Amino acid sequence: MTLGFKSSDIFGVKVTPTTMDDLFTLMDRSIAAEDKVVIASLNLHGMYKLFKDDVFRALHEDDKTCVHIDGMPIVWLGRAAGLDLDASHRTGWIDWFLPLMERAQRSGWRIYYLGGTSRVLADGLARLRRDYPDLAIDGHDGYFDARRGSPGNTAVVEHINAFRPHILIVGMGMGRQEHWISENRADLKTNCIGTCGACMEYFAGAVPTAPRWLGPLGLEWLYRLLSDPKRFWHRYLVEPWIVAWYLATGAGRRRAAARTDR
């Protein structure tokens, strides 16, 4: 099965412009076809990772990966690159997490969440089971030996496969989660694998959530920076300049050309 949505190019970086409804359609199609797709998030931090991390980039560039936009700066860059994008193409996990749970309950999709601390995960799952009593959901925290072949990793993969989720949501932090998916996706019995960063931490209230009206304005990053400057100063004050340098010097285009030549 192909993704069914055309991927585009933002200065050499792959994106798949999709709305929330588009992502649900992709899940529907993948589940019906018993296929396996990855739904990867792209924001400025992700662009930084793309230029620094070959495994991260390879997962995003895979033909079975839908790279949805998670941040207004990517929408703005897309417009500068000539793409017809608007705020509906910004599909941040915090905004579509609960609509996904509602859709999963209605459609009978089984959900597995991998990530967060054991306390955060327990709190989040308890709330979801309370609010969506007919939703089939399970999970495991993200604090295990994630090395492929380790007893801890083998146990997690076996637990996921025993539950047989239609949708596996991996929230182990950008970078670590992409590496884990790349190393294990061939062994995972699921139809859709999504990368969501710290979504459960925000949902469970362990991390302050920015007012949702800030997202479409492209100011959610400022709220996060002010809430936890020690954690986010490099991501929001340094990385964007590095990304700008890569884009200005054509590094993205060179990588795109290298892909074409392979």
pLDDT 10s digits, 229-259: 888 788 878 888 888 888 878 765 555 555 5
Closest of 147, 13, 139 to residue 83, by C-alpha: 13
The conformational region for residue 71 under phi > 0 = left, psi -120 to 50 = alpha, else beta, is left
Return the bridge partners of 138, or none: 112
Amino acid letter, 216: P
The answer to whether the beta carbons of residues 17 and 83 sit under 8 Å apart is yes
Q: Using the 8-state DSSP alphabet, how is residue 185 labeled?
A: G
Cα distance between residue 197 and residue 42, in whole Å: 11
218 or 138, which is more confident: 138
Q: How far is CA 206 from the centre of its chain?
A: 19
Taking a C-beta distance cutoff of 8 angstroms, is the pair 88, 98 a contact?
Answer: no
CA distances from 185 to 36, 38, 83, 182 (A): 9, 9, 31, 6
**Global pTM?**
0.90
Q: What is the pLDDT of residues 83-125, one digit of tens each?
A: 999 999 999 888 899 999 999 999 999 999 999 999 999 999 9
The residues near 106 (Cβ < 8 Å, ≥ 6 apart) are none
Q: For residue 131, how many C-alpha atoms fall within 13 Å in the half-sphere facing its CB?
A: 15
Question: With 50 as the cut, is the pLDDT of residue 260 above it?
Answer: no
Q: List pLDDT tens digits, range 164-219.
A: 999 999 999 999 999 999 999 999 999 999 999 888 988 887 776 767 666 776 67
Spell out the residues 6+ positions from residue 88 whose beta carbon is closer than 8 angstroms to its own: 19, 20
**Cα-atom radius of gyration of the chain, to the nearest Å?**
18
- Helix H or strand E segment including 11: none
pLDDT the model gives residue 11: 86
**pLDDT tens string 22-78:** 999 999 999 999 999 999 999 999 999 999 899 999 999 999 999 999 989 999 999
In this structure, what token pair is assigned to residue 130?
């309370």
Token pair of 71 as six digits = 């941040």
Which candidate, 136, 191, 196, places its Cα nearest to that of 163?
Answer: 136
pLDDT tens-digit readout, 201-210: 888 877 767 6
